[in-house]
Amino acid sequence: MLIAHTPVRLSFFGGGTDLPSYYTAHGGAVLSTTIDKYIYVVLRVHEQSVLQITSSDYRTFYRHEPGTPLLWEGDLLLPRAVLRHFGVTNGVSLFLASEVPPGTGLGSSSSVTVGLVKAISTACGQRLSPAQVAQLACHIEIEVLGRPIGVQDQYAAAFGGFNWMTFDADGVRVEPLALPQATLARLERNTLLMFTGAARDSSEILARQNRASAAREPAVIEALQVTHALALEARRHLLNGALEQFGALLDQAWQHKQRFAAGISNDQINHWYRLACQNGALGGKIAGAGGGGFMLLYCDDEAVERVASVLSEAGLRRMAYRFATDGARVLFNAGLRLRQTGPLPAGPEGNSLPAAQDVR
């Protein structure tokens, strides 16, 4: 048996500038941290010549018999794609579970991909760096499966911790931020995660944004450029410990984010956000692509509990969390070794994975 876990992330600034359709032309940057909510991957080898995948989140099960085509549809498409990449088609049971609901804006889908890559590569005897794990996860999600997503979530999950990530045509760079403990403690204490009760499929919102970026629509490009500039400013405030200014910038970034694509906000979300600001929140946003999921809010020191109480009365649910420093890792491995029943496919750029690009 092998057990791996991967954290989900909170993206404070720069989300949207990590889509390749935007950053390859304009550059992008994201400020984010991982939190102590995890995706778990459990692998077990058995003697039967079948492949079995179970997901507790989607309450679904998949069984693949040898000699039959691998189905490319349904909720368990992602683990099948990762297993196929590594040439593993039978003799394995795979179990997936998450501490957060899918589709709630915390990057859980890409955390699943990263966790699968980490677990299966380890079980196949490969030692991939965090950058290589993230690059392969991006390749499978974006190039193989054609998902209209960015690349920040995969790198956040693979590296872990509080990071400044930059994106351009040459690749991705990850810079861990060495923040004073007092700054981290206050930021953690004053940042709320409130669940709106609505999970959503962000693919359509991201597809609209992706099309707008690729078409160079002026309003969307301008909003993304302002978002990039605000991320740079937020990084400076954070490094200086100026958290009031950091929180206020969240409000500016949220206003511009709503220009990326239709569906990012709605009347109900706007009502909750106004309610939070009227009771002491300096700024916030809907986490992830938008449309539902978790609302992230930064509050004045004395306003955290008041904002949480008011939003709870309005029907939202608070999720307790802590910042986490670890990325994807194997928690337990009882010498498991997977049988690769087919040739290992080439990496994203030929026969090997691209060179890691990070500044650790």
Query: Which residues are tagged catalytic?
Result: 153
Q: Which residue type, as a one-letter code, is found at position 285?
A: K
Q: From CA 184, how far away is CA 243, in angstroms rounded?
A: 10
Please compute, for residue 225, the number of CA atoms within 13 A of its CA located in the half-sphere on the CB side.
9
Q: From CA 27, how far away is CA 173, in angstroms rounded?
A: 12
Q: From CA 121, how far away is CA 178, in angstroms rounded?
A: 30
Q: From CA 246, how far away is CA 315, in angstroms rounded?
A: 27
Query: Could you tell me which residues come within 8 angstroms of residue 52 by beta carbon, excluding any fewer than 6 positions away?
Result: 61, 62, 63, 64, 92, 93, 94
Question: For the residues of 3-44, what is the DSSP string, one character each?
Answer: EEEEEEEEEEE-TTTTSHHHHHHH-EEEEEEEEEEEEEEEEE
Q: Where are the beta strands (DSSP E) in 90-213?
A: 92-98, 162-168, 171-176, 191-195
What's the gap between Cα 166 and its chain centre? 15
Q: From CA 46, how far away is CA 48, in angstroms rounded?
A: 6
